[in-house]
Amino acid sequence: MKKIEVRQLKVHTDTDYPPPYDIACRGYRRRRLGDAAGLTQFGVNLLELDPGQWSSQRHWHTAEEEFAYVLAGEVVLVTGAGEELLRAGDCVGFKSGDPDGHCLQNRSDAKATILEVGSRRPAEDACHYPDIDLHLFAGAQTYAHKDGTPYGDRDG
């Protein structure tokens, strides 16, 4: 059977950001639709953000592209260029290598639902976080400080 039973998929609610960068993203609900379909070249997620939650820290990728489509509710797109309100039916894309980092924040009083699509090139992709001391080096499995020191090695 090819149909994906979305409601039966595992709901991922935990971010892998190290403290304190995990706080704004805790408790979001992400269902990995692309994984359920066996896709390997790009990921597809169904993301639910409650009021006050963020999709991620503001970031940009060197080798991966991302696309987000707001299915329900509204979120604020935060970039280095400013902020923009996205409502149901709005979408946005992010090219690899564009250093204007982005994230989505739910500042409303209702749940927002977003479809996320992104390429998968972890061996070539580095992820930059312009606002905080966080970096994901190409091919790395864990986050590091911008100076390359892994989290945990000097953090306690």
Cα separation, 143 vs 151, in Å, equals: 6
| Per-residue pLDDT at 2 | 87
Residues β-bridged to residue 129: 134
> For residue 142, is it within any domain?
no
pLDDT in tens, 24-74: 999 899 999 999 999 999 999 999 999 999 999 999 999 999 999 999 999
> For residue 141, is it within any domain?
no
Q: Poorest-confidence range of 1-15, 62-76, 95-109?
A: 1-15
| Per-residue pLDDT at 153 | 62
Is 70 exceeded by the pLDDT of residue 154?
Answer: no
> For residue 44, is it within any domain?
yes
| Per-residue pLDDT at 156 | 45
> For residue 79, is it within any domain?
yes
Q: Is 53 exposed, middle or buried (0-12, 13-18, 19+ CB in 10 A)?
A: buried
Query: For residues 102 and 59, is the Cβ–Cβ distance under 8 A?
Result: yes
Task: Write the CATH number for 85.
Answer: 2.60.120.10
How many folded domains does the chain comprise? Answer: 1
> For residue 146, is it within any domain?
no
Cα separation, 32 vs 115, in Å, equals: 10
> For residue 87, is it within any domain?
yes
Q: Which domain holds residue 108?
A: 11-125
What's the predicted TM-score (pTM) here? 0.94
